[in-house]
Chain A
Amino acid sequence: KNQVEQSPQSLIILEGKNCTLQCNYTVSPFSNLRWYKQDTGRGPVSLTIMTFSENTKSNGRYTATLDADTKQSSLHITASQLSDSASYICVVRSGYSSASKIIFGSGTRLSIRP
């Protein structure tokens, strides 16, 4: 069964600290993995995409990793800011066309405290 599991479910850290969010997936065939950020009251927005051949990709203070062998991904946030408070959703696509299955994790709710 295709599944995407995220941990922790929620996380509270102090402003300026780093954190790492985890995503484990059992999706086959694997095409790509995206991390989305969802601010309260808004739709999710894509942060980064990881494909089978990519191990690490950075987008500003966000760094995503992918281990295709163990089927794990992480999202590391450096020097957190209050605006990083949001839900972070791991999404795995199975297949290569727009008709391919898209499997969502249930998200990690991150709160940054001043």
Chain B
Amino acid sequence: NAGVTQTPKFRILKIGQSMTLQCTQDMNHNYMYWYRQDPGMGLKLIYYSVGAGITDKGEVPNGYNVSRSTTEDFPLRLELAAPSQTSVYFCASSPRGGGSSGNQPQHFGDGTRLSIL
């Protein structure tokens, strides 16, 4: 039971470099999310997707891009890394629900710790 898998676990980037954070889930969940977690700031939503081919911005999307070509995968792209993007990034997923009893909670991966120097 893998759940939500994120790779890599750790990464150091130089300013201006680009990279893709990978996220895959094996629970056939429709909804997927990317958050960043900074000390004392809680989890902030970057982007989310309600299904393959559909993505939307969250609270802090600037500097990031996403795509969702399959149900399982939801990669997060940093094009020009900046020190302000040093953070822990979490991917999450949840099944689609309808009505008051159908909404389902999110399940998280173990994160990618990213440092930009």
Do A and B form a real pair?
Answer: no
Point out residues on A near B: beta carbons under 8 Å: none
